[in-house]
Chain A
């Protein structure tokens, strides 16, 4: 099966339409914005350290054929609950971050398990179900945090409690653990500071994902991802495998959100997790992933392209039309547009694969008719 070079190029272009589009966009937007290279590099490194972990959490469900896991919002909520507790207890520094992770892990596992059960019941519609599940759990989270905390669950720190005595304030200052990971080992090259420890954590996760693909469970997930029925016929516990993939993803998202918030330094109790799913999914799709196929390089390419667009588009918008808002508008617009286009593209490709079967028969006919001397 050898392909000519032009065919290879064509295939590459078709498979990478979305990232190429963004590269072209940035090619014009970056000079327009007038940012210095140092500033952009600094921003990029900060954002890679901040966001990559969350986006990496999406990889494993894709492997198991469950598409983009919008349910990572659930993991993010679990992480935030951990952060509320350590803020209440006043645990500081890197210990605080780890303690938050330890507290939120069981919550994330339970949430992931429930999400897995629900997604199993909604086979083939995992993404939209996950999206709705995020909205639903947001309500449960609000109930829990707004009425349960300080009421049923003891919270004593008046700084994070609402004045009425129960419920958590809208914003929590995470001063105790602000950038605890990022500054644990910090390297400065010129004006660019590198959060080495955060990157080490991300590297460990990447190694874990590569390693995981090679395990029996990873292989089973790939099998389940391709065809539930065939996997089941060979004795693989399909439902269990799918639930495991969601649990792993939710737990990783929970850690991802903690890493994200320690970098930001403040937490919007009721909003921080809202768009975690959308932005992470948009990033990985911009990185060239599809609903059925995603790898580690998609994550990093996606985070760089997506966030570069974020940084430069407000300024570019201002230079271009005199309004900075257009950049913010662009950010939300782009996220949803990219997700919608990628889903449509995916459905279109699947239909194309079906049509190919029919086309193969038609080709056979043409050949047979030609061989007879083209009488028809």
Chain B
């Protein structure tokens, strides 16, 4: 039921976070009953755009945004998401915001329950009104019926299958009679295929009844199936807009990742790498949110091996699993010998080292000085920087050696600090990352895992970190497995790049392949022909 009535009009919306531009003059319209697909890589600006529309306080706290948007012709300005809800925008988030101990009905009507008057109201006020359970159930059933799904209103959320939780969330937005525009942020990401199908059907039905929907998803076939129009965001720009029937997955993927080739440089290795160092066979890792479901790959000695993919697909799980931080199973062969999994100490002893994506959580001892941070693990694992007396009965820290080592890395990585005694907490994000790298280098590892080394640091620092990795690889011949969300980063330093999709490796490509090929692998539209290894 598409009409010409414009529900949402976005005009030149832009947003920067303290100088870092994430959205540049984005304009589009959504008509009544229309379904818009919004596609883009992580960091393309989708979430920021939705946060602006939904009036999240984080936008105002960081200096607001430029441009305007209009709801039903009226200029909208929200200071909180409650304003947005009142104005008729409903949002279904990626993570479930449901109370696990409440029934579907209670969740659908959370804080909008039907109430009845009683005597106490006159004395103590409205909050002592009684819940009208019957009417609540009626309203919940009504909302569920609009979705045309099979959902028991009395079922407790904790006992529901994942799909039903998603329906409960959507039903909540539908019950709000004012909702005219529904934002679905990756609603199918956690669903099974059949659940996703029902979900798509429900969304279609809603649109038929006049609901406008913005549908965010990485699954292109769903987007093309459901949406009337597709918008692609890249680096904060609206780069592509087309009716669904006039486009195809390849075209969309191209505009998603399509940077010109000259954006990055990759110098080919002079010498062919020969020896296999690490062989991973059918590795499964139970890392919540980054589940790995059976990956196979081989890394050569001295290689820089990139692992890429969209967030939540499992790329981070691989390194965490091999290092024993999350329960894993499968086979990992190191120099042809199988190594036991789920044993971090053992793996460190073998010469593995890991720079975690979780810098503050596992990466650094924030309340200790830089030099201790750099040498701590080496001290624990390899007993370096230790002076022994009485045949090892007494062990002392060798502060001189520690200082020397710290100064070496501070110089090599250009860590900006007042001295090697500065506390890690006081450093900027980029410099903390460099300390993490120094810590890993100090272990003199044979193989180094680095996850998201440039997340949250500025452009200059990024280059330094990447260069440091590359230089370290060239000089000491160390093997590096780098995991990153940024494809360009991987292409600039890796010898080969594996793209992970839905817990499996969708393909392994050399960096010289066009970005589109990587893009297609990321969204699961694989089966690329050519020289890339196909799985």
Contacts and interface: CB of A to CB of B under 8 A. Distances in A.
Nearest to B114: A216
Contacts of B81: 233
Interface string A341-352: 000000000000
B97 interface: yes
Contacts of A219: 106, 113, 131
B127 A216 contact: yes
Interface stretch (A17-25, A98-106, A300-308, A354-362): A354-362
Given A362-B286, A376-B282, A215 B111 contact: no
A364 B106 CA distance: 31
B102 A358 contact: no
Interface residues of B, number: 34
B495 to A, nearest CB: 29
Interface stretch (A89-97, A223-231, A326-334): A223-231
Interface in B68-124: 81-82, 97-102, 106, 110-113, 115, 120
B286 A216 contact: no
A164 interface: no
A219 B130 CA distance: 9
Contact of B286 (A230, A231, A235, A365): A365
A179 B100 CA distance: 46
A223 B129 CA distance: 16
B129 to A, nearest CB: 5
Given A236-B111, A358-B288, A223 B99 contact: yes
A216 B293 contact: no
Interface string A228-271: 01110111100000000000000000000000000000000000
Contacts of B258: none
Nearest to B120: A215
A365 B127 contact: no
Nearest to A365: B284
Nearest to B326: A358
Contacts of B291: 361
Contact of A234 (B110, B127, B294, B331): B110
Nearest to A240: B127
Contact of B293 (A222, A357, A365): A365
Contacts of B97: 229-230, 233
A336 B225 CA distance: 62
A226 B102 contact: yes
A315 to B, nearest CB: 43
Interface in B290-340: 291, 293-294, 326-327, 329-331
A14 interface: no
B111 A361 contact: no
A215 B102 contact: no
A359 B131 CA distance: 38
A220 interface: yes
A365 B341 CA distance: 15
Interface in B322-372: 326-327, 329-331
Contacts of A231: 99, 110-111
B126 interface: yes
B417 interface: no
A223 B110 CA distance: 8
B200 interface: no
Contacts of B329: 362, 365, 376
B528 interface: no
Select the residue from B100, B110, B326, B327 with max chain A CB neighbours within 10 A: B110
A215 B286 contact: no
A188 interface: no
Question: A interface, by DSSP: helix, strand, loop or mixed?
Answer: helix
Nearest to A229: B97
A361 B294 CA distance: 12
B159 interface: yes
Contacts, number: 79
A234 B85 CA distance: 10
B327 A217 contact: no
Contact of A222 (B82, B102, B294): B102
B163 to A, nearest CB: 15
A135 B99 CA distance: 35
Contact of A361 (B129, B130, B288): B288
Given A226-B100, A236-B111, A357-B288, A215 B327 contact: no
A231 B288 CA distance: 24
B128 interface: yes
A232 B88 CA distance: 19
A1 interface: yes
A187 interface: no
Select the residue from B100, B126, B127, B291 with max chain A CB neighbours within 10 A: B127
A293 to B, nearest CB: 9
Given A217-B127, A220-B127, A368-B293, A226 B101 contact: yes
Contacts of B331: 376
B127 A362 contact: no
Contacts of B115: 216
A223 B102 contact: yes
A369 B330 CA distance: 10
B99 A220 contact: no
Nearest to A221: B127
Contacts of A376: 282, 329-331
Contacts of A234: 110-112
Contacts of A236: 111
A214 B282 contact: no
Contact of B98 (A214, A230, A359, A368): A230
Contact of A358 (B120, B126, B327): B327
A232 B360 CA distance: 27
A216 B102 contact: no
A235 B82 CA distance: 7
A361 B102 contact: no
Contacts of A364: 293
B131 A215 contact: yes
B99 A216 contact: no
A225 B126 CA distance: 20
Contact of B159 (A1, A217, A229): A1
B326 A214 contact: no
A362 B329 CA distance: 9
B99 A230 contact: yes
A43 B97 CA distance: 50
Contacts of B130: 214-216
A368 B330 CA distance: 12
Nearest to B85: A235
B111 A223 contact: yes
A215 B101 contact: no
A365 to B, nearest CB: 4
A360 B327 CA distance: 12
A361 B99 CA distance: 22
B326 A368 contact: no
Contacts of A357: 288
B87 to A, nearest CB: 15
B95 to A, nearest CB: 10
Given A234-B110, A234-B111, 8 more contacts: A216-B113, A216-B126, A216-B131, A220-B127, A223-B110, A231-B99, A362-B286, A365-B294
11 contacts: A215-B128, A216-B129, A216-B130, A219-B113, A226-B99, A231-B110, A233-B81, A235-B111, A358-B326, A369-B282, A376-B331
Report, nearest first, the 8 A-B pairs whose CB atoms are least far apart: A361-B286, A217-B127, A234-B111, A365-B284, A226-B99, A234-B110, A358-B286, A215-B128
Interface of B: 81-82, 97-102, 106, 110-113, 115, 120, 126-131, 159, 282, 284, 286, 288, 291, 293-294, 326-327, 329-331
